[in-house]
Structure 1
């Protein structure tokens, strides 16, 4: 990473905006927060602390997709880069009885990788399945320290992905819909505080009573809103284009209509977001 100039990082941040505009749908809040956070961080030669983003929302709303886009726009190879590290709670930290071992391993992994590359990216998926207390092991790396045991973590990026807090986000989105307001009128202040409190007090959030929240070490709680029918159609069109197909609006509508929606009466939001859109599309092109 030492050979990558700041100018190159800035150009990649600009490319991030294009990717989010063209590929992420129905997430005006997430798009704005991530653009501002990543732009500001990358363009700051001396950040006071690592950038920490906690992405919240239902499955299929774009959390994994956004972390992939961030990685791709900072490093060649994206998630496959040697400088991008993905931890999946159920895969890497499966047993509650081993939490002390996991804490030691996590600290060693992060210290080793940041020593090799100051701008390492760490992505923690399934935070809602993370054993309570485990994530606090990385608190020293997220705090406002110039050095921890001779290593600076201030240029690293930490991204947490979680379904925790999704109900609170949906409540706000549904209130706006029922009041006849545009979802684009939802502001971060309408959600962020309630979201952070909800995650802090949720025993199944991975952040239960976490010092990361208590000490304000999470820079942004990023809400991903539940997706509507029109957003599913946007996802389907992009997927068609990426496969080299002509956009067929009949198939777009048929695939979107096969999805299930909630609440039961109003059927406003997709149960699975864009998650299963891709496999449903296979059915129409399997020949």
Structure 2
């Protein structure tokens, strides 16, 4: 097997022995012969277009002009993401507006913030799967985890060069590339500024346009600010659905910019307003954790059991100690807790 290309930091993508000859044949057949073959196949199996046959069955293609199915995205956000009315609304509007714009002024940059287990990674997966059927396995989706890919402080200069080269190379191959940065709260301050040119309002840099790329930043930083605001709402007798984006977005950006313990500390991305949306993920309550348990039962093809779901949800720890309002780990350990009861 021969390596074809890097599919992610530190990994190589290989062609299987049987797949390589088939792909070689498909790529080497002249267009007329391929057309005859498709016509013959269509007569037997029904109409199949060349892009559908080639991109859907032979290889994964970068289909920049592929429209986003807004109904499917909206359903996924509503049915799979619990207790996050702000994230549902903001992400839906942001993606629909960006994907329907044939000539965006800059890439879309989303920064997702909140406690662990509130759904940041999960919603990233939903976004990716609605853009690329292969989901996180797509060769056009690139995940960076700060503690894995950028672990050493003394290699900061090297990381900056490698990160710029990786983004430049992959975007030149596919304008609709997706870059996800996880654990931003553990990223070395200053490293993320190396991608500032790619997020700015440039038509192109050295012949490459980054305007149709998507950048997603995930961080626990700011979670305490969001939770504090939620507790204030509760003390005022208001519902969580009363919280609006404007109530926390500015507090988030200012707090992140001035916090030394996260990758956005004094970041030019915030200073130059290159982050399009700071998306708050609210702390989950008992009812949301219970929904997570029921969803996990469905995922395991088991019958939904309200009593069991309540028992598992009650075993989670909640804070503050007096009110016990918010799940300390969100839905992160639900699967493990459920397994103890099955």
TM-score range, shorter chain: over 0.9
TM-score computed with the length of structure 2 as normaliser: 0.81
**Which of 243, 259, 271 does residue 300 from structure 2 map onto?**
243
- Once residues 206 and 114 of structure 1 are traced to their aligned partners in structure 2, the CA distance between those partners, rounded to angstroms, is 23
Give CA-to-partner distance per residue, 1:35-70, whole Å, 9 cap, x none: 000111111111000000000000000000000110
Give CA-to-partner distance per residue, 1:246-265, whole Å, 9 cap, x none: 11111101100000000011
Contact kept, 8 Å, 2:184 with 2:263, in 1: the verdict is yes
Choose between structure 1 and 2 for higher RCO, CA contacts under 8 A separated by at least 6 residues: 1
What is the match of residue 68 of structure 2? 10
- Once residues 137 and 10 of structure 1 are traced to their aligned partners in structure 2, the CA distance between those partners, rounded to angstroms, is 30
- Once residues 278 and 135 of structure 2 are traced to their aligned partners in structure 1, the CA distance between those partners, rounded to angstroms, is 23
1:198 equivalent to 2:288? Answer no
- Once residues 99 and 265 of structure 1 are traced to their aligned partners in structure 2, the CA distance between those partners, rounded to angstroms, is 44
- Once residues 64 and 328 of structure 2 are traced to their aligned partners in structure 1, the CA distance between those partners, rounded to angstroms, is 43
**Which of 210, 218, 228 does residue 171 from structure 1 map onto?**
228
What is the match of residue 140 of structure 1? 197
Q: Counterparts of 1:82-121 in structure 2 under 5 Å?
A: 82-121=139-178
Q: CA deviation at 1:178?
A: 1.2
Q: Which has the larger radius of gyration?
A: 2
TM-score computed with the length of structure 1 as normaliser: 0.97
Q: CA deviation at 1:4?
A: 2.9
What is the match of residue 30 of structure 1? 87
Q: Counterparts of 1:1-287 in structure 2 under 5 Å?
A: 4=63, 6=65, 8-11=66-69, 13-285=70-342
- Once residues 254 and 231 of structure 1 are traced to their aligned partners in structure 2, the CA distance between those partners, rounded to angstroms, is 13
- Once residues 161 and 337 of structure 2 are traced to their aligned partners in structure 1, the CA distance between those partners, rounded to angstroms, is 42
Distance 1:254 1:120, change over 3 A: same
CA RMSD of aligned residues (A): 1.1
Mark the runs of 5 or more structure 2 residues left unpaired by the alignment.
1-59
Q: CA deviation at 1:5?
A: 6.6
Q: CA deviation at 1:133?
A: 0.2
Distance 1:144 1:2, change over 3 A: farther
